[in-house]
Amino acid sequence: MNRATPFRTEEDVMGIRRESQKGVVVNGIDPVLAEIHERLHRHPQQWLQTLTNTPGSFVDVEKNVHDAFKQMADQLVAGLLAQATAGDTFAHSAKKK
């Protein structure tokens, strides 16, 4: 599961990482969209091949599809949060509250 985890750094007000504080740093929306785009091209072919070879695996394939889209949604939210919190404007606004 790919969950965004905020953490404090000396350089930034907030850094966003996937999975945990030791996960991959998310720098913004563009890298996340590129990864999602790649997954959307790769996974459907794998799912189709699995169903073609093993028609009885529909329940497992359906679960895998739902899990993949949930992970991609989590990644997208992390990218949005990373981009929204980057820069001095967010830091200044956060200090006001």
Burial group, residue 76, by CB count within 10 angstroms (0-12, 13-18, 19+) = middle
Residue-wise pLDDT for 6-58, tens only, equals 544 434 435 665 555 566 777 889 999 999 999 999 999 999 999 999 999 99
pTM of the complete model = 0.68
Residue percentage of the chain with pLDDT more than 70 = 66
Q: Tell me, what's the pLDDT at 31?
A: 92
Residue percentage of the chain with pLDDT more than 90 = 53
Q: Where are the domains of the chain?
A: 4-96
Residue-wise pLDDT for 64-84, tens only, equals 999 999 999 999 999 999 899
